[in-house]
Chains A and B, each alone.
Chain A
Amino acid sequence: MERNVLVEKRVLVFVCIALFVWAALASGISGAYYIQFNVYQKEYQSLLSTVNSITAIIEHLTNISDSLGNSTEQVNEMLESMSLKVDILVKSNETSLKWHNSTYLPLGSTAFTGLMAIANITYESYGEMGLLVTSVDGLRNTDTAGWFWWRYNCTSFEWTLPPYSSDKDILHRGDVLAWTYEDYATWPPPPPS
């Protein structure tokens, strides 16, 4: 008696072989991808931790920068409380004119020490009358010309020629001074311009 068989045994054997190869290969490939996944995950974690540490360093640097900014302001305030800021003009001739703006000087400075702070000078002492500047940056007084010092009057908006020595003039915050090299022939000498 012939049996009714849906699928031949031979076909089943080959299908089983095909399925076995497919299953083994698929397992291998999934294993390979799992290993790759782990490798990339580790790399991602390492990258993430690097990014986090860089972010933390940036935050830390920002904090340091902020605190430094505050400290700078505090230092400036302290410096300003201990010093004064003046503007000084040095004019050798009509063409050589140099402004020394925002020059910090210690409290109690005079017009003389102010000039001393910004230029190489020589001077002579006249006792009670005070000190006379004899040269500024190598340009010396002669029989016909010499150095004069000026103070700017902020109320009348004009230069005045003080009738006393520069070392007698105590400076205040915001003072504006000028040192000019002028001919003695004209009196009073022309103010700085």
Chain B
Amino acid sequence: MKALKTALISILIAVCIGIQLTPRFANVEFTSFIVFIIGVLFGSYVGCFSGILVMFVNGFLSPWGYAGINLPFQMVGMSVAGLIGGLYRRYLPASNYRRFCFEVSVLGALIAFTYDLVTNFGFAVQLTYGFPSSILLLMILVSGALFSLVHVVSNVIIFGALSFPLMKACEEFSLNGEKRLG
């Protein structure tokens, strides 16, 4: 069972890093979605760790370039996705597909918003090499609002459309694995 769990987490993280490092449309990403699902399936700790690990690798190998000072902020921002997934795991709705889709969509929006907030703060720190002034922070947050909108909308769609199929696939993977391993 432990081996199956580890294999599944490894596969999800590998897929996550693979997609993250693939050149794609700006602010449309699947990392927070997969990290959130890891959180839902395996709890907050694993979710947080996955988010941190993925963003750590991404910080060095990203097609957008080295993250620099923003790297720890990206790691923290993405660990929030795993944390929220882990928290949501405790309150999963019992067999209600529509409600599940609605709730994960809202959480997807919240995760995207939180991630942008944290990384924009990191960007402000990167700019000032210190604690940014409230005006600068506000300017950066405001100027990144349109990008955030793209991120939030794409996350709402991705979370709402893919959460259930991915969780189902992971469940089947686990069940089949258990059968094979006896």
Q: Do A and B bind each other?
A: yes
Q: Which of A24-32, A47-55, A57-65 contacts B (4 or more CB under 8 A)?
A: A24-32
Residue A170 CB within 8 A of the other chain: no
Q: How large is the interface on A (under 10, 10 to 19, 20 to 34, 35 or more residues)?
A: 10 to 19
A10 vs B109: C-alpha distance when bound (angstroms): 17
Q: Count of A-B contacts with CB under 8 A?
A: 45
> How far, in angstroms, from A25 to B142 measured CA to CA in the complex?
9
Instruction: Note all chain B residues with C-beta closer than 8 A to A25.
Output: 113, 145, 148-149, 152
A21 at the interface (CB under 8 A from B): yes
> How distant is A23 from chain B, measured CB to nearest CB, in Å?
11
Is B83 an interface position by the 8 A CB rule? Answer: no
B contacts with A, residue count (CB < 8 A): 21
Distance in angstroms from A137 CB to nearest chain B CB is: 80
Interface residues of A in 104-158 (CB under 8 A from B): none
* A165 CA / B91 CA spacing, docked (Å): 129
CB of B140 to closest CB in A, whole Å: 11
Instruction: Tell yes or no: B107 within 8 A of A by CB.
Output: yes
Q: Which residues of chain B have C-beta atoms less than 8 A from A14's C-beta?
A: 102-103, 106
The interface centre, meaning the residue of A14, A17, A18, A25 with most chain B CB atoms within 10 A of its CB, is: A25
Further pairs besides A10-B93, A25-B148: 5, Cβ < 8 Å: A17-B110, A18-B106, A31-B145, A32-B143, A32-B145
